Chains A and B, each alone.
Chain A
Amino acid sequence: MGGGDGPLNAPRWLGWAWAIPAAFLAAFLVYPVIVLGARVGLGDGWSGLTAASTWQVAGLAAVQALASTILALVVGIPMANVVSRYRYRGRALAQAMVTVPFVLPTVVVALAFRSLLGSGVPQGFALVVVAHAYVNLAVVARIVGAQWAQHDDRYENVARTLGATRWQAFVTVTLPGLRGAIASSAAVVFVFSFTSLGIVLLLGDSTTRTLESQILRQTSVLLDFPGAAATAVIQLVLVTGVLLAGAMAGRRSPRRTMRPVALRPVPAGLSGIVVRVAVATTVIIVIAPVAALLLDSLRAGGAWSTAWWSAMGSVDAGTTRIGSPLGALGMSLGYALVTAVIASIVGGLAAVAVLSRGRARVVALLAIAPLGVSAATLGLGTLLAFGRGPIDLRGTGLLVPIAHALVAVPLVVAVVAPALRATDSRRLAVAASLGARPTRAFVTAYGSVLRVVMLASAALAGAVSLGEFGAASFLARAGNPTVPVQIVRLLSRPGEESYGVAAALAVVLVALTLALVLLVDRFGMSALQRSARTA
Chain B
Amino acid sequence: MTPRLAADDLVIGHGSTVIAAGISFEVMPREIVAVVGPSGSGKSTLLATLAGVIPALSGRVLVDGADVTQVPIHHRGIGMIFQEPLLFPHLDVTDNVAYGLRRQGMSRAEANERAATLLQWLGLAGYEQTSVDQLSGGQAQRVALARALAPRPAVLLLDEPFSALDADLRRRLVIEVSEALRHEGTAAIHVTHDLAEAAAMADRVITVPEAPESGPSALGRPAPPA
Contacts and interface: CB of A to CB of B under 8 A. Distances in A.
Interface of A: 152, 154-155, 157-166, 168, 172-173, 176-177, 179, 254-257, 265
Interface stretch (B81-89, B120-128, B179-187): B81-89
B133 interface: yes
Contacts of B89: 177, 254-256
Q: Most chain-A Cβ atoms within 10 A of its Cβ — which of B48, B53, B73, B148?
A: B73
B105 to A, nearest CB: 9
29 contacts: A152-B86, A154-B84, A157-B53, A158-B80, A158-B147, A160-B52, A160-B73, A161-B51, A161-B53, A161-B73, A161-B80, A161-B153, A162-B100, A162-B147, A163-B74, A163-B151, A164-B99, A164-B103, A165-B72, A165-B74, A166-B72, A168-B103, A173-B88, A176-B90, A254-B89, A254-B133, A255-B89, A255-B133, A256-B89
Q: Most chain-A Cβ atoms within 10 A of its Cβ — which of B74, B76, B153?
A: B74
Contact of B151 (A162, A165, A177): A162
B151 A158 contact: no
A166 to B, nearest CB: 8
B84 A257 contact: yes
B82 A158 contact: yes
Contacts of B99: 159, 162, 164, 172
B90 A157 contact: no
Given A162-B147, A177-B90, 13 more contacts: A152-B86, A154-B84, A158-B80, A159-B88, A161-B73, A161-B76, A161-B79, A164-B100, A168-B74, A168-B103, A173-B88, A254-B89, A265-B15
B82 A161 contact: no
A172 B98 CA distance: 13
A154 B133 contact: no
A252 to B, nearest CB: 10
Sort A-B residue pairs by CB-CB distance and give the 9 closest, nearest first.
A162-B100, A254-B89, A163-B103, A160-B73, A176-B90, A256-B89, A161-B80, A254-B90, A157-B53
Q: Most chain-B Cβ atoms within 10 A of its Cβ — which of A160, A162, A168?
A: A162
Nearest to B150: A162
Contacts of A161: 51, 53, 73-74, 76, 78-80, 148, 153
B189 to A, nearest CB: 13
A155 B103 contact: no
A162 B76 CA distance: 10
B104 interface: yes
Contacts of A176: 88, 90
Contacts of B100: 162-164
Contacts of B72: 160, 165-166
Interface in B112-135: 133
B27 to A, nearest CB: 16
A316 B104 CA distance: 73
Q: Most chain-A Cβ atoms within 10 A of its Cβ — which of B51, B76, B86?
A: B86
Contacts of A256: 89
A257 B74 contact: no
Nearest to B54: A157
Contacts of A159: 88, 99
A346 B3 CA distance: 73
A102 B74 CA distance: 40
B103 A257 contact: no
B79 A162 contact: yes
A157 B76 CA distance: 13
Contacts of B76: 161
B86 A164 contact: no
B148 to A, nearest CB: 7
Interface string B124-163: 0000000001000000000000011001010000000000
Contacts of B133: 254-255
Nearest to B76: A161
B207 to A, nearest CB: 26
Interface string B48-86: 100111000000000000000000111010111010101
A254 B52 CA distance: 28
A154 B103 contact: no
A173 B86 CA distance: 11
A164 B88 contact: no
A157 B51 CA distance: 9
A125 to B, nearest CB: 35
B147 A155 contact: no
Contacts of B86: 152, 154-155, 158, 257
B59 to A, nearest CB: 18
Contacts of B15: 265
B14 to A, nearest CB: 9
Contacts of B90: 176-177, 179, 254
Nearest to B99: A162
Nearest to B78: A161
Contacts of B148: 161-162
Contacts of B74: 160-165, 168
A152 B89 CA distance: 13
Interface string B13-51: 001000000000000000000000000000000001001
B157 to A, nearest CB: 8
Nearest to A265: B15
A452 to B, nearest CB: 39
A152 B88 CA distance: 11
A168 B88 CA distance: 14
B220 to A, nearest CB: 23
